[in-house]
Amino acid sequence: MSADQQLILTLAAGLGCAAVLGYTSRWLGLSPIVGYLLAGVLVGPHTPGFIADQGVANQLAELGVILLMFGVGLQFHIRDLWAVRWIAIPGAVVQCLAATLLGMAVASAMGWSWQGGLIFGLAVSVASTVVLLRVLSDQHDLHTPAGHIAVGWLVVEDLLIVLALVLLPVLLPGSAAAGSGDGAVVAIGWAAVKIAALMALFAIAGTRLMPWLLSGVAASGSRELFTLTVLALVLGVAVLSAKLFGVSMALGAFLAGLVVARSDFALRASAEAMPMRDAFSVLFFVSVGMLLSPADLIAEPWLALATLGIVLVGKPLAALIIVLVVRRPLGTALTVAAALAQIGEFSFMLMALGRELGLLGPAAANAIIGAAIISISVNPLIYKTIGPINRRFSRSVSAVIPEAALDPALALATEAPRAVVVGAGPVGRTLIGILNERGIVPVVVEMNLETVRRLRDQGISALYGDVVHPDTLPAAGIAQARALFLTASGITDAAEAIRLARAANPGLKIIVRADYLRQTAALRRAGADQVLAGEVEVAGAMAEAALTDLGAGPDQISAERTRVRVALDQPG
């Protein structure tokens, strides 16, 4: 079989099995990651049937790691971390330290080197951001104070692991990348210089060059060119970081994400380039699953059970104690502890690093992957079990000391009511002014970059992005909004935007502009509360103008407008 055929077969088998098992996992109420890992087990060398090419899968997975790290950088918001810094930073550091020490103790009992134990401990200390966000979203806790603490906690963990991925190959004695004695000191110093130079280059040149380039491409109006440019930038920066500065490609991709996140193109880059990331990320999880040997796991289960004990008991218990020590309510402590009772993507990256450095063997990989599959599977169940206790406790103390009062930065309930307005043309601008006058904070979603900048200059919150992408409305705060107004004409897939908004906020008032009367039925079926068709409004305005000219009174004009609406099947 030729190399091209093997590549296609590996892609087809990996993605096909991942699609089927991912859907099955989601149908069962589990994270799709469980399905992706099981797909890797199914097409891997340790189970009967078709065996995918591990080398090809690893190469494709490398792309997945690069794009995953770009996504981490793109979604990192310093304001989210800053709001919960007093608990998230010390909490994440201490919890990671406690879990790492537990992992090192297990590794020592297995007779591994301390270097291997360190990587193993770090791998089981960090939770999956993807799983965390999914669990919090499903339980409608993402935008609660406890949810913000958990997300900030994970942001700190992610940053710690990014740092570990960069420094461990240099710092660990006995690894292929490290020297000894004076040579190790020189290697560490030289690595620090190169990392500092790379970060300075990004801070000085990257923050100007990349937004300038993306701005020029966005002005062309071509979505394909914009997507291609983002991907080319990410891969190009990753490769140049490795070749010129000797750092991992993952770090270069992470820094590229940070730069784009600070520009006006963060949301659009996520909307248009991230589907590629998702596809290759699936292949990353499939390649990890291919390493799992079910027979070996069953033959030697104790290491996997010890690993699972750290993930499901040791790590959550450490988080619970830390949150209580800093005098947060028990409900918050339970929420954070339950949300962190799992491991995921960064654990696999550390595992791969340990294998690459010759410090972790197949037994460690089996234990980490097995613990990940089980912990990700049971994490939603754990969270659902703790949820009722959390809610009962919150209700019992809410009259005495609202949790938001403990940290003003988390007090979402004290914000003014908000509305999301899609489009800032004449209709949108008029509506924005009315909302402001009534004390309702408008958040505008707009695809014209200059309009977004102009609105921000006026002190109005505005996002540059496509409303039909799943990340756009959550970024605009749709979960806390009272109303959604789709004011722009010609919105492609407006019905999909309505469905996304309704799923995120079932009690939302949704008012939609339609260009033609024939569009109204589909928009109402999608979940719109009110659809205002241009044809109907023009007909009503013309009827009013005619009646006014004929001397009709206000009551007659109002009755005629109502009749026109009813006649055109547009009640309201």
List pLDDT tens digits, range 97-130. 999 999 999 999 998 989 899 999 999 998 887 7
Cα(75)–Cα(70) distance, integer angstroms: 9
Question: In the CATH scheme, what architecture does the domain 3-394 have?
Answer: Up-down Bundle (1.20)
Residues of the chain with CATH 1.20.1530.20: 3-394
Choose the weakest-confidence range: 3-17, 71-85, 338-352, 399-413: 399-413
Cβ(172)–Cβ(178) below 8 Å: yes
Cβ(173)–Cβ(361) below 8 Å: no
List pLDDT tens digits, range 242-256. 788 776 777 788 788
pTM over 0.75: no
List pLDDT tens digits, range 509-551. 999 888 777 788 888 888 889 888 776 677 767 777 777 777 7
Q: What is the mean pLDDT of the segment spanning 47-62?
A: 76
CATH of domain 415-528: 3.40.50.720
List pLDDT tens digits, range 479-492. 889 999 998 877 76
Residues of the chain with CATH 3.40.50.720: 415-528
In total, the chain counts a number of residues equal to: 572
Cα(528)–Cα(75) distance, integer angstroms: 30
The partner residues of 512 in beta bridges, in order of sequence, read 486, 531
From the list 504, 508, 490, 502, the residue with the least C-alpha distance to 527 is 502
Cβ(488)–Cβ(507) below 8 Å: no
- Mean of all residue pLDDT scores within the chain: 79
E-assigned strand segments in 207-353: none
Q: Residue 202's pLDDT is what? A: 77
Sign of CA dihedral 494, 497, 503, 508: negative
List pLDDT tens digits, range 386-436. 756 655 655 444 333 333 333 333 333 335 678 999 988 888 888 898 888
Cα(370)–Cα(301) distance, integer angstroms: 10
Cβ(34)–Cβ(289) below 8 Å: no
Cα(410)–Cα(403) distance, integer angstroms: 9
The partner residues of 510 in beta bridges, in order of sequence, read 484
**Residue 111 structure tokens:** 């007779």
